[in-house]
């Protein structure tokens, strides 16, 4: 049934693109097709429980040439399942001395896993010439917030203690980007820090209803309805006030944050909140490099190598990773 759903949604999206062929300037037909397909699929999921979307997402596996250049191995760290992504041919000593980036996947705190992100993780590891550790944090609604944040923080602290002389970065997309920001905030309170962070369309202000949330609903995979649906799942019975400082960064003091590299898409509903966050962080003295990907949709990078714009974006991510690693301090 899940496979048939994917085939049906893909054919429907393809026919829709042929009938209504207009798309944003700068968006290729492959990018537009992936946007339409994903938007239709995730919005159908609203009528089902989260297991419906998880089963279909698990079937969406892409191949990337970078997968031939890395090896994955599993390890439980701080009681959290994780997967190492290391370059093939490296000795154990060399692997442990290479820069390390922890990756927190997206999915609105309710879907996604490292297995489904292996293609992107491998591509970023190769582009950034680093080892990547994917973190399978707990998902809502089975484990409401702040469970995901607790897991990401626990793994990060474990890595910092285990590799005190290693260059450690954080990376994440969407809700995973928010988990990076929350982790950095918690580390700062304990006098700890990472070398930097790479954020893909971080979800900065859940519940906000601003211009881009309304105007970009037709050009993105997300919508106000979907984000509110996921966030309700993420909270379950937890009062918003209890977790708001860790998920809503509209009033965050970013002083003391490490260098950040942020990519966002011009056609995504989260655009305005991301750009507000970028502006606040810069005003508070944070070294922020921001790339606005014209014509694209939310976290389009996960569709490499199918989408050519995603390939280009990942190359820029690799350059940013290397730049942050080589910064002094």
pLDDT at 67: 95
Tell me the pLDDT tens digit for each residue of 44-98.
999 999 999 999 999 998 889 999 999 999 999 999 999 999 988 776 666 677 8
> What's the rounded Cα separation, in Å, for the pair 147 and 125?
27
We find that the CATH architecture of domain 2-326 is 3-Layer(aba) Sandwich (3.40)
Q: What is the residue-wise DSSP string for 224-242?
A: HHHHHHHHHHHHTTS-HHH
Please check the confidence at residue 320 and state whether its pLDDT lies above 80. yes
Q: What is the number of other CB atoms lying within 10 angstroms of the CB of residue 322?
A: 14
User: Could you identify the residue written with the tokens 């000795």?
Assistant: 91
Please check the confidence at residue 3 and state whether its pLDDT lies above 70. yes
> What's the rounded Cα separation, in Å, for the pair 23 and 170?
33
Q: Which residues contact 111 (CB under 8 A, 6 or more apart)?
A: 50, 53, 54, 57, 139
Strand order in the sheet with 100-104: 70-77, 80-87, 131-135, 100-104, 168-173, 196-200, 260-265, 288-293
pLDDT at 328: 74
Please check the confidence at residue 315 and state whether its pLDDT lies above 70. yes
Q: Which residues contact 326 (CB under 8 A, 6 or more apart)?
A: none
> What's the rounded Cα separation, in Å, for the pair 316 and 310?
10
Burial environment of residue 267 by CB neighbours within 10 A (0 to 12, 13 to 18, 19 or more): buried
pLDDT at 329: 66
pLDDT at 201: 98
The DSSP output letter for 172 is E
Tell me the pLDDT tens digit for each residue of 134-150.
999 999 999 999 999 99
pLDDT at 145: 98
pLDDT at 94: 67
Tell me the pLDDT tens digit for each residue of 276-309.
999 999 999 999 999 999 999 999 999 999 999 9
Q: Compute φ and ψ for 82, nearest 5 degrees.
A: -140, 165
- Residue of higher predicted confidence among 112 and 327: 112
Please check the confidence at residue 235 and state whether its pLDDT lies above 90. yes
What number is the average pLDDT over the span 236-245? 93
Query: So where are the chain's domains?
Result: 2-326
Please check the confidence at residue 184 and state whether its pLDDT lies above 90. yes
User: Could you identify the residue written with the tokens 């003295």?
Assistant: 285
pLDDT at 22: 86
Tell me the pLDDT tens digit for each residue of 154-175.
999 999 999 999 999 999 999 9
User: Could you identify the residue written with the tokens 């930097």?
Assistant: 196
Show the beta-strand stretches assigned E in the chain. Answer: 70-77, 80-87, 100-104, 131-135, 168-173, 196-200, 260-265, 288-293
User: Average model confidence (pLDDT) for the chain?
Assistant: 95
């Amino acid at each position: 049934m899940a496979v048939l759903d994917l085939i049906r949604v893909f054919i429907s999206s393809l026919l829709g693109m042929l009938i209504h062929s207009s798309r944003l300037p700068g968006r290729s037909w492959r990018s537009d097709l992936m946007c339409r397909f994903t938007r239709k699929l995730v919005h159908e999921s609203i009528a089902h429980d989260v297991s419906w979307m998880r089963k279909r997402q698990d079937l969406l596996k892409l191949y990337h040439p970078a997968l031939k250049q890395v090896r994955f191995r599993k390890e439980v760290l701080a009681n959290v399942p994780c997967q190492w992504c290391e370059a093939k041919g490296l000795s154990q000593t060399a692997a442990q001395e290479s820069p390390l980036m922890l990756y927190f996947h997206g999915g609105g705190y309710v879907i996604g896993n490292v297995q489904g992100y292996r293609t992107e993780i491998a591509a970023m590891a190769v582009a950034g010439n680093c080892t990547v550790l994917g973190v399978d944090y707990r998902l809502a609604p089975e484990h409401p917030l702040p469970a995901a944040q607790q897991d990401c923080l626990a793994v990060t602290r474990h890595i910092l203690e285990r590799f005190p002389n290693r260059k450690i970065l954080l990376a994440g997309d969407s809700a995973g980007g928010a988990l990076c920001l929350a982790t950095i905030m918690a580390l700062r309170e304990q006098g700890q820090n990472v070398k930097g962070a790479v954020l893909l369309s971080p979800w900065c202000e859940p519940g906000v209803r601003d211009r881009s949330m309304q105007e970009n609903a037709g050009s993105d995979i997300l919508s106000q309805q979907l984000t509110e649906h996921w966030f309700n799942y993420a909270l379950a019975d937890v009062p918003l006030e209890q977790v708001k400082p860790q998920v809503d960064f509209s009033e965050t003091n970013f002083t003391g944050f490490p260098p950040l590299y942020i990519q966002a898409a011009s056609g995504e509903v989260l655009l305005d909140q991301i750009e507000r966050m970028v502006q606040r962080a810069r005003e508070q003295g944070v070294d922020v490099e921001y790339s606005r990907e014209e014509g694209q949709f939310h976290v389009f990078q996960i569709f490499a190598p199918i989408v050519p714009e995603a390939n280009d974006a990942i190359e820029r991510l690799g350059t940013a990773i290397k730049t942050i690693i080589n910064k002094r301090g």
